[in-house]
Structure 1
Amino acid sequence: MRQLVLDLGAEKPPTLESFVVGQNAELAQLLRHFARRTQPAPADRFVYLWGEPGAGKTHLLHALAAEGNGRYIPAGSPESDYLYDPAVSLYLMDDCQLLSADAQISAFALFNQVKENGGLLVSAGDKPPVGLALREDLRTRLGWGLIYQVHGLTDEEKISALTQAAQARGINLSPGVLPYLITHFRRDMRSLSAMLDALDQYSLETQRPITLPLLRNLLQLEGEPKA
C-alpha cells in the first residue's frame, strides 16, 4: 500500500503562520505576542484553550514551543517536565483533561512557580476548566487568566484555505476535488494539507491532472475509510 499521506512525522512542523485563523483572530493575535515574549498584563500571562479535536489546539502549542525557550508538555509527560526552569520562558500544557493524579499535583506546582517568577503558560483541554474532572485547585489555576474556545473551521473555510494553498503553489484542482476530499478524508487541516501535497506528488508521478477520479484512486491506495 502506498503511504504518501499517513507519515505525519515527515510533515513540516506546525507554525503560527500555518495556522488557519478562521474565527480565532483575537486568539491568534494574542499568541503572536506570546511568541515574541511580549510581556502582557499579569492577569493575562495564563491562557487556557479549549475546543473539539482537530480545532488546532495542539498545533498552536507546538508552534509556540518551537519559537524558542518554550517547553511543550503533553499529558503523560514525566514529572521532570513540570519542574520550573528559569531558562524556560513559556510552558505549553496539552490535553489537561488526561492528567493523572500525580501530574495534576505537578501541574498545580508549575502554575504557582510560573506566577511567582513571571513566566507565561498556555494550557489546553477538550472543555472549559469548569467542566474538567480535575482537582479543584488545578481547575482554579486553569481558569486564572484568559480562556478561549478554539473554533474549528467550517467546510467552506477549509475549502477556501486549501484553494489558496493550491493556487500559491501552482496546483490546478478540478472542480469537486476539495468538497469530496473534506467529506471522504480526515477533517483536520493538518491531514487535509498533507493530502494536498500527496495529490500533487501523485499527479506528477502518474502524469494525470488532479481530478476527482485521481483523488478517489489515491484514497483507495491509501486505504482511507470515509471520514
Structure 2
Amino acid sequence: MTLQQLPLNVQLPANETFTTLITGPNDEAVGLARAGEQSLVYFWGRQGVGKSHLLHATCAAAQEQVMYLPLAELRNTVSAQVLRGLELYSLLCLDDIDAVITDETWCFELFALLNRVRDAQTGRVLVTANCSPAQLAAAYPDVQSRLSWGVVVQLHTLNDAEKVRALQVRARAMGLALRQDTALFMVQRLGRDLVSLIHCLERLDKASIAAQRKLTIPFVKAILAI
C-alpha cells in the first residue's frame, strides 16, 4: 500500500484493520469493500457502526495508491481545493461526507471530483455518511444524484455479544487480556456506543500499564469511576 499523507499528517489507526473488524450484520458491506469491484460504494449508518474502521481497514489492505480523507476533521483546517487531483488515486476514501456537503464550496468540489473520477474510469471511491444519499442536505442536489449512482449500503449496529467480541479483539491487538465478563460489564455499564467503548479501552490500557494491573471488573470500576 502507498498512502498519500496530507500536510496535516493524517494517519490511519494501526489497530483498525480487517483483523480487528467484527462484521456482525455487515458482511455485505465488508465484502463490497474488500472485493474492490464497484467504482462507487456509499456506506451509511449511525455513529459507532464501524464506518471509519471499514475505510481504515480497506486502505490498510490495499495494494494500490490510496487517499483517505477524514472530512469531519478537515473541514475547518484545509481548503476544499484539497479534493482537486484526487481522481488520480486508484482508491479514494471519503469519510463523513455529510460533514462538508452542506457547504457550497466543498459540495462543488465534491461534485467536480466525482465527475472526474467517473470520466477517468480508473479508480474507485468509498464514501461514508450518517444518512442515506436521499437524506443528505447537499448544497447542490446533483451531488446526491451522483452518490446514488453507486452501490448504497447501510451499516448496522453490532449486538452486545458482537461488541464484547470486538472489545476483546481490539484488546488483544493492543497486547491486553480482556476477559469476557469484564468486556460484557463494559458494554452493559458504559453504553452501547462502540466508539466510546474503544476510547475507554484505550484509557484502561494506559492505566493498566502504569499500575501493572490486569483488566478486571474492579479495576475498570476504579479507573472509569463507575
TM-score scaled by length of structure 1:
0.75
* Cα displacement (A) at 1:159: 1.1
1:178 paired with 2:183, answer: yes
Q: Which protein shows a greater Rg? A: 1
Gaps of 5+ in 2: 1-10
Separation in 2, partners of 1:82, 1:11: 22
Separation in 2, partners of 1:161, 1:130: 31
CA deviation string 1:46-98 (max 9, x = no partner): 11010001111122223334435111231415223211346411222222222
How many residues are treated as equivalent by the alignment? 204
Partner of 1:90 in structure 2? Answer: 91
The one-letter amino acid of 2:89's match is V
Separation in 2, partners of 1:91, 1:196: 30
Partner of 2:67 in structure 1? Answer: 71
* Cα displacement (A) at 1:15: 2.1
* Cα displacement (A) at 1:198: 5.0
Secondary structure at the counterpart of residue 59 of structure 1: helix
* Cα displacement (A) at 1:45: 0.8
Separation in 1, partners of 2:149, 2:176: 46
Change (3 A) 1:218 1:11: farther
Contact preservation (8 Å) 1:84, 1:114: no
The one-letter amino acid of 1:17's match is T
* Cα displacement (A) at 1:13: 4.9
Secondary structure at the counterpart of residue 123 of structure 1: strand
Contact preservation (8 Å) 1:64, 1:70: no
Any residues of structure 2 matched to 1:134-213 within 5 Å, and which?
A: 134=138, 135-163=140-168, 171=177, 173=179, 175=181, 177-185=182-190, 187-193=192-198, 195-196=200-201, 198-199=203-204, 202-203=207-208, 205-213=210-218
The one-letter amino acid of 1:58's match is S
Separation in 2, partners of 1:217, 1:122: 41
The one-letter amino acid of 2:42's match is Y
Identity of aligned residues (%): 30
Change (3 A) 1:79 1:162: closer
What is the Cα-based RMSD across aligned positions, in Å? 2.9
Gaps of 5+ in 1: 1-8, 35-39, 221-225
* Cα displacement (A) at 1:137: 0.5
Separation in 2, partners of 1:144, 1:203: 48
Contact preservation (8 Å) 2:20, 2:169: no
The one-letter amino acid of 1:71's match is M
Partner of 2:131 in structure 1? Answer: 127
CA deviation string 1:102-161 (max 9, x = no partner): 111111111111011112111111111011111210000111110011112111211133
TM-score scaled by length of structure 2:
0.76
